[in-house]
Amino acid sequence: MSDDRRRENSDRKPRREYGDRDRDRRGGSSQSQGRGHSAGPKRGWDDNRRDERKIRHDRSTPQRQGFREDRMAQKADEPDIPSDVDINDLDPMVIQDLKVLSKDNAERVAQHMIMSATLIEDDPDLALRHARAAKNRAGRVGVAREMNGIAAYHAGEWKEALAELRAARRMMGGPGLLSVMADCERGLGRPEKAIELFRSPEARELDPASRIELGIVVAGARRDLGQDEAAVATLQKLQPTMESNDISQMRLAYAYADALLAVNRVDEAKGWFTHVAKIDVEELTDAAQRVEELG
C-alpha cells in the first residue's frame, strides 16, 4: 500500500475525527459486477432463486465438498498471535458473546480480535488479517463481523467493510455504526447513499455523539457532490457550539470550520478553527495549523 493511500486510510476511523478527510474530498472507486446470460434454456424466476439459495447453502455448510479443506487452509493462513495476548483484555460483553463457540475456538477468536484492535492504527492491513481470521472462526457471532467491518474500513476495503457491518447489524440489531457505513458509501463513490442513511429511521435511534459523527460524514458527502452550502446547513442543524470541550463537539466544530471555509466565510472559519485549536489538547486535529495558514 502506498504512503498516500495509508495516510488516506488513517483518516477514515470510526468514532474519530473526520475533518482532515473532508478537506481532501475523496471518493474512491466502485466496482460493479454483472451477471452473464446462460446459454442454456430459459427458466422461471422462482427456479433461478431456488438455485441461488442452494448454491449459497452449499458454499456455507460443512456438507459441501472441500469445506473441511477450505477451513484448514484458512486456519493455516492465520497471522501469528504473540504468547502474551490475554483474552481478559477484551470487553467482558464481547467475551460473553463468544461463549456460543467452543472454549478453544472462543479463546482464539478473542486473541485475533485483540490483535486487530491493537494493530488497527499502525498496521491496518495486518489488523484486517486478524479480523478476518476471527470472522472465519466465528462467522455467526455479530461482534466478530463488526470487528471485521471496522478493520476493513481502516484498511480502505470499503465494500468488505460495508458488507460486514450490514451483517453485524442484522445479527445484533440497533442502528449499528451508521457513520462508518455512510463513509464506506463515500469511499465507493456513492455519496447519495450516505445521505440516505442520514435520513433513515435507524439514524433517529442514534445517541447525540453518534448522530454528530454521521452528520459530519454526510456533510462530507454533500461536498463530494459539490453542495458546499448544503454541507454548512447540515452541520448547522447539529448545533455546533464553542461552549463545550466535548470531543464530539470538537470534531463538529472542526468540520463546521472546514465547511465555512469552502464557502469563503473565512473569518468565521478562522474563529472556529481557533476554538478547536484551544481545546484540542491531544492534537487530534490540525486546527492549529489551519489557523496559521489563514494568517
Rounded Cα distance, 109 and 130, in Å: 9
Lookup result for grid cell 465555512 = 260
SS3 209: helix
Q: Are 86 and 107 in contact (CB under 8 A)?
A: no
Its domain, for residue 90, covers: 75-173
Residue 117 sits at φ, ψ, to 5 deg, of: -65, -35
9-23, 84-98, 172-186: which has the minimum mean pLDDT?
Answer: 9-23
Q: For residue 224, how far is the Cα from the chain centroid?
A: 18
The more confidently predicted of residues 112 and 5 is: 112
Does some domain include residue 88?
Answer: yes
Nearest to 100 by CA among 151, 57, 142: 142
- 154 located within any domain: yes
- Looking at the domain assignment, is residue 159 inside a domain? yes
**Of 15 and 101, which is predicted with more confidence?**
101
Give the per-residue pLDDT at 176. 76
> Domain for residue 248, yes or no?
no
Place of cell 457550539: 241
Give the whole-angstrom CA distance, residue 124 versus residue 148: 11
Residue 147 lies in a domain: yes
CATH number, domain containing residue 165: 1.25.40
DSSP assignment letter at 175: -
What is the predicted pLDDT for the residue at 197? 95
> Could you give the maximum distance between any two Cα atoms of the chain, in Å?
71
Query: Which has the closest alpha carbon to 21: 236, 197, 254?
Result: 254
Read off the pLDDT of residues 219-239 as tens digits, 9 standing for 90 and up: 999 999 999 999 999 999 999
Q: What is the pLDDT of residue 182?
A: 98
Angle between helix 247-262 and 208-224 (nearest 10): 20
Per-residue confidence (pLDDT) for residue 173, from 0 to 100: 87
The predicted model scores a pTM of 0.75
Say what the pLDDT of residue 228 is: 98
Residue 43 lies in a domain: no
Question: Average pLDDT for residues 152-162, to the nearest whole number?
Answer: 98
68-90 pLDDT tens trace: 556 666 677 899 999 999 999 99
Number of domains in the chain: 1
Q: pLDDT per residue over 8-32, tens digit each?
A: 433 333 333 333 344 332 223 333 3
**51 domain residue, yes or no:** no
Q: Does position 65 have pLDDT exceeding 90, yes or no? A: no
Q: How large is the angle between the packed helices 124-137 and 142-154, nearest 10 degrees? A: 160
